[in-house]
Amino acid sequence: MENDIQWIKTHCGRMDHGGCALITGVRDNVIVKIKGDPDGFLNRGYICAKGLASPGRLNHPDRLTHPLRRTGGRGEGKWERISWDEAIGSISENFQRIKEHYGARGVAFCQGMPKGIEHFVLIRLANIFGSPNVVSVQDVCHAPREVTGLHTCGFYPVADFHLKTRLALVWGSNVTRTNEEGEICSLLLDQIRSGTQLIVVDPRQTELAKKADLWLQLRPGTDAALALGFLNVVIEERLFDEGFVEAWTYGFEDLARHVKRYPPEKVAEITWVPPDLLREAARQYARSRPAAIQWGNAIEQHMSAFDTARSLVCIMAVCGNLDVPGGNIQANEPNILALGKFVRADLLPNKWKEMIHTFHHTIPKLMTVPPAFLRKAMLEGFPYPIKGAYVQCSNPVMAYADSRMTVDAIHQLDFLAVADLFMTPTASLADVVLPVATHFEFNDIGHYGLGHGYILARPKVVEPPEACWSDIRILHALGRAMTPKEYWFDDPDDLLEALLRPSGITYGQFAEKGYLKGGDTFKKYESRGFSTPTGKVELSLSTAEKFGLRALPECPQPPADDPDYPLILTSAKDPFYMHSSYRWVDSLRKKSPEPVVEIHPDTASKLNIHDGERVAIETRQGGITQVARLTDGVHPNVVNAAYGWWFPEDDITAQDTWTRSNYNILTSAQEVGREFGTPNLKGIPCRVRVAGRNRKLVS
Ligand SMILES: Nc1nc2c(c(=O)[nH]1)N[C@H]1C(S)=C(S)[C@@H](COP(=O)(O)OP(=O)(O)OC[C@H]3O[C@@H](n4cnc5c(=O)[nH]c(N)nc54)[C@H](O)[C@@H]3O)O[C@H]1N2
Ligand SMILES: Nc1nc2c(c(=O)[nH]1)N[C@H]1C(S)=C(S)[C@@H](COP(=O)(O)OP(=O)(O)OC[C@H]3O[C@@H](n4cnc5c(=O)[nH]c(N)nc54)[C@H](O)[C@@H]3O)O[C@H]1N2
Ligand code: SF4
Ligand SMILES: [Mo]
């Protein structure tokens, strides 16, 4: 019966960065229908398979519905139910105790991919508690792009697909599948349909690579060299925007001299991209103005992330594409509470002196601790011990490079609390597990702090299970228990009102409107310059000496061929899951039932591997098994493995569930890029072999 359904508008969240406006049909506190909202600002009616499946997260029989306290050894799976008062009391007592012994900095506050405003409430709690150590996965997700942007041109340049662009250069971003940063790909597809040229840089033949005018199938992990090759062609062939370069850049002559060392022929040896193809791509990009670079995770899941990002900002700049409509823009935020005020940055103004990563000499302006350095502190006490951790919206055992290191580090902790909606490999190691209310079940705001110039309303559409609390509510309760109450609100929703207050509207009005957007103004530098020390785009960094950074983008020597590990391993995100999340949602699991590794048929034939067969994938770090899929969409020397796999249907106490097929068993966090603590997640020497005939991973 349609007529007893109540229709409520909200926005999608937590299945990726979120962004699609949704219309949900609710009956008896259950979402029974869901569709894309044709009026949606970003999606105009679009909804993907994950969005359609998202209500399935709420009613799973194994969802956590009570706070739990560990009664056996860590990871033994023995729990007792406790009340919320006991849970908050226990976390607060343990963190206070650690604070007394080791200082507030001995407690780390860990966040996964930011899902809504809970990330910023967590930073607020850490600041008020006095710990400078907010940990996030930004080392491999956005910090390299954002912070390098800040140092090079004073802002984070995002692709503008809202206004007409003549050419899109999609670099290491699988945006039709990941809708990276909630920039729903339909905007880009509309542009392509209306004649925008497309160049794709990706080792796999993605959907966009198939549509592209040019596809540069590079060797994984060599983006830094390819980007320098682009600069070489643009500068040597004088295809750059002379007026902009003259007026608004610093260090052009140095850069021009420097990139002479990277002619396309030399770059081809490193990247496998034919010299003439690279020339053609660079020419097309430079001659099509405006052009936008859509840059994805691939550039920052490698130790050379800083150099690659530096080169890409330099390319945008010298070709006159910075902050122009349809280029890479500095988005204007709507008039809402500034992040610094929201998180009460004023309470810990010198936190940068104390943050763990400062002792590893990372780049200035990196405000969250890279996981590699967090675990060093947990395991080795350098630069000082971390003894307590609060983990929300994250599954570090699966998401951090080197999963075994994460588990070992957790075993060194005095106290770990994890807030999640399911018993994950990380939660299974905790002292206290908190059951959360999640998306659809509380009022939230999407895209705050993402730098795209808008925020989206995510009003609640159903009530959560009785004992499930939203992260915002949990953090308020913790704040009240272990920090001065004056910093917290009586009703956690008042925080949303405070965030919106400068705009003059209430949360109710915001929910009606759906989104708030900053104004469309461009070329702000003409009136105020670029926010860098020289007021210009720093092609050569004026602060290089002061901060110990490389002034000009470099490229590392490619690793020497390793005869024992002759193939190159990389990965892309599964279109049906969010990292390690939601393999327990039945409708999604049917679409992607098992971890699949893509291998070229010629390589498979040499190794006697058949389609559908279980194969072992091994690196110098470790080995896992996945199911082979033969495809010529990958280069014969490249293997593309699935990431994020554990098996929620297994006994969570069995170590095998997080070791069997987990990509991060193959990665290492021993060697990392100094600027961001970034490990190599892509471009790793590996080998594959048959692991056993006709045996599927999932029984
Ligand atoms: N379905 C789904 N969507 C998601 C997510 C998810 O887990 N699942 N996660 C969300 C999050 S947190 C993020 S940050 C975004 C990330 O979204 P993306 O940036 O799209 O991330 P990836 O899928 O890791 O990688 C993008 C592309 O890089 C290619 N690639 C692999 N190695 C290399 C290389 O060495 N060089 C180059 N140039 N390309 C390479 C892959 O083939 C892939 O097509 O997606 C968000 N959306
Ligand atoms: N090898 C490799 N490693 C990677 C990547 C890669 O491409 N390759 N990608 C990296 C990137 S881009 C990112 S962003 C990180 C992601 O790192 P994480 O964010 O840690 O990834 P997830 O595995 O999605 O873990 C999220 C957890 O939050 C839970 N959750 C969902 N909703 C809520 C909620 O409302 N509240 C709470 N408290 N919990 C909730 C989910 O059940 C899940 O267990 O991983 C990084 N790691
Ligand atoms: S593309 Fe992202 S925001 Fe849109 S419905 Fe799918 S998961 Fe949700
Ligand atoms: Mo991410």
How confident is the model over 279-296, as pLDDT tens digits? 999 999 999 999 999 999
User: For residue 171, how far is its CA from the centre of ligand 1 (angstroms)?
Assistant: 10
Residues 263 and 14: their CA atoms lie apart, in Å, by 43
How confident is the model over 460-495, as pLDDT tens digits? 999 999 999 999 999 999 999 999 999 999 999 999
Residues 417 and 74: their CA atoms lie apart, in Å, by 12
- For residue 290, cis peptide bond before it (omega within 30 degrees of 0): yes
Quick one: how far is CA 111 from the chain centroid? 11
Residues with CB under 6 Å of ligand 2 are 14, 112-113, 115, 137, 140-141, 297, 301, 392-395, 398-399, 419-422, 424, 436, 438, 471, 571, 573, 578-581, 643-644, 663-664, 667, 681
Distances (CA, A) of 125 to 131, 186, 345, 431, 492: 9, 37, 11, 20, 13
The pick from 119, 140, 180 for probing ligand 1's pocket by mutation, whose C-beta has the most ligand atoms within 8 angstroms, reads 180
If you take atom 29 of ligand 1, which residue's CA is the nearest one?
Answer: 172
User: Residue 251's pLDDT is what?
Assistant: 98
Q: 337 near 457, Cβ under 8 Å?
A: no
User: For residue 136, how far is its CA from the centre of ligand 4 (angstroms)?
Assistant: 10
User: Residue 647's pLDDT is what?
Assistant: 97
Q: 107 near 389, Cβ under 8 Å?
A: yes
Ligand nearest to the CA of 178: 1
User: Residue 557's pLDDT is what?
Assistant: 76
Helical H segments across 27-76, by residue range: 49-53
Q: How many CB atoms lie within 10 A of CB 637?
A: 15
The 3-class SS string of 515-540 reads EEECCCCCCCHHHHCCCCCCCCEECC
When the pLDDT of each residue in the chain is averaged and rounded to a whole number, the result is: 96
Ligand nearest to the CA of 51: 3
Quick one: how far is CA 117 from the chain centroid? 15
Residue of higher predicted confidence among 501 and 181: 501
User: Residue 560's pLDDT is what?
Assistant: 80
User: For residue 169, how far is its CA from the centre of ligand 2 (angstroms)?
Assistant: 27
User: Residue 413's pLDDT is what?
Assistant: 98
How confident is the model over 187-241, as pLDDT tens digits? 999 999 999 999 999 999 999 999 999 999 999 999 999 999 999 999 999 999 9
- Predicted confidence (pLDDT) at residue 559 exceeds the cutoff of 80: no
**Ligand 2 atom closest to Cα of residue 438:** 35
Helix axis angle, 264-271 relative to 275-287, nearest 10°? 110
Sequence-distant (6+) residues with CB within 8 A of 100 are none
User: Residue 693's pLDDT is what?
Assistant: 52
User: Residue 204's pLDDT is what?
Assistant: 98
User: For residue 154, how far is its CA from the centre of ligand 3 (angstroms)?
Assistant: 30
- Predicted confidence (pLDDT) at residue 340 exceeds the cutoff of 70: yes
The pick from 9, 50, 456 for probing ligand 3's pocket by mutation, whose C-beta has the most ligand atoms within 8 angstroms, reads 50
- Whether 388 is in the pocket of ligand 3, judged by its Cβ within 6 Å, is no
User: For residue 386, how far is its CA from the centre of ligand 4 (angstroms)?
Assistant: 24
Output DSSP code: residue 611. Answer: T
Element holding 79 (H helix, E strand):
strand 79-81
User: For residue 565, how far is its CA from the centre of ligand 4 (angstroms)?
Assistant: 28
How confident is the model over 6-57, as pLDDT tens digits? 999 999 999 999 999 999 999 999 999 999 999 998 999 999 999 999 999 9
Output DSSP code: residue 331. Answer: P
Helix axis angle, 252-259 relative to 223-236, nearest 10°? 110
Q: What is the DSSP string of 455-469?
A: EEEE---SPPPTT-B
- Predicted confidence (pLDDT) at residue 664 exceeds the cutoff of 90: yes
User: Residue 698's pLDDT is what?
Assistant: 44
The pick from 113, 174, 230, 640 for probing ligand 1's pocket by mutation, whose C-beta has the most ligand atoms within 8 angstroms, reads 174
User: For residue 179, how far is its CA from the centre of ligand 3 (angstroms)?
Assistant: 7
Output DSSP code: residue 163. Answer: S
Q: How large a percentage of the chain has pLDDT more than 70?
A: 99
Cα–Cα–Cα angle for 166, 169, 173, rounded to 5 degrees: 135
| Single-letter residue type at 105 | R
Question: What would the two tokens of residue 484 be?
Answer: 């001065």
User: Residue 407's pLDDT is what?
Assistant: 98
If you take atom 43 of ligand 2, which residue's CA is the nearest one?
Answer: 581
Ligand nearest to the CA of 173: 1
Output DSSP code: residue 213. Answer: S
Q: 167 near 316, Cβ under 8 Å?
A: no
Distances (CA, A) of 448 to 131, 198, 206, 697: 23, 30, 30, 39
Residues 95 and 93: their CA atoms lie apart, in Å, by 6
User: For residue 47, how far is its CA from the centre of ligand 3 (angstroms)?
Assistant: 6
- Predicted confidence (pLDDT) at residue 368 exceeds the cutoff of 60: yes
How confident is the model over 58-93, as pLDDT tens digits? 999 999 999 999 999 999 999 999 999 999 999 999
- Predicted confidence (pLDDT) at residue 695 exceeds the cutoff of 50: no
User: For residue 137, how far is its CA from the centre of ligand 2 (angstroms)?
Assistant: 9
Query: Which SS3 state, helix, strand or coil, does residue 169 take?
Result: strand
Residues 6 and 31: their CA atoms lie apart, in Å, by 9
User: For residue 76, how far is its CA from the centre of ligand 3 (angstroms)?
Assistant: 36
| Single-letter residue type at 177 | R
Domains in the chain: ranges and CATH = 2-57 (3.30.200.210), 68-142+335-517 (3.40.50.740), 157-329+522-547 (3.40.228.10), 567-690 (2.40.40.20)
Ligand nearest to the CA of 18: 3
pLDDT band, residue 1 (cuts 50/70/90):
low
Residue 400: burial class (beta carbons within 10 Å; 0-12, 13-18, 19+): buried
Helical H segments across 333-432, by residue range: 339-342, 351-354, 371-380, 396-399, 403-411
- Predicted confidence (pLDDT) at residue 399 exceeds the cutoff of 90: yes
- Whether 50 is in the pocket of ligand 3, judged by its Cβ within 6 Å, is yes
Q: 327 near 160, Cβ under 8 Å?
A: yes
User: Residue 696's pLDDT is what?
Assistant: 46
Instruction: Give me Rg for the CA atoms of the chain.
Output: 24
If you take atom 5 of ligand 3, which residue's CA is the nearest one?
Answer: 51
Q: How large a percentage of the chain has pLDDT more than 90?
A: 95
- Whether 47 is in the pocket of ligand 3, judged by its Cβ within 6 Å, is yes
If you take atom 35 of ligand 2, which residue's CA is the nearest one?
Answer: 438
Q: What's the average model confidence in pLDDT over 434-442?
A: 98
User: Residue 699's pLDDT is what?
Assistant: 35
Distances (CA, A) of 95 to 122, 343, 479, 485, 663: 14, 20, 12, 17, 32
If you take atom 25 of ligand 1, which residue's CA is the nearest one?
Answer: 572
Tell me the whole-structure pTM to 2 decimals.
0.97
User: For residue 295, how far is its CA from the centre of ligand 1 (angstroms)?
Assistant: 10
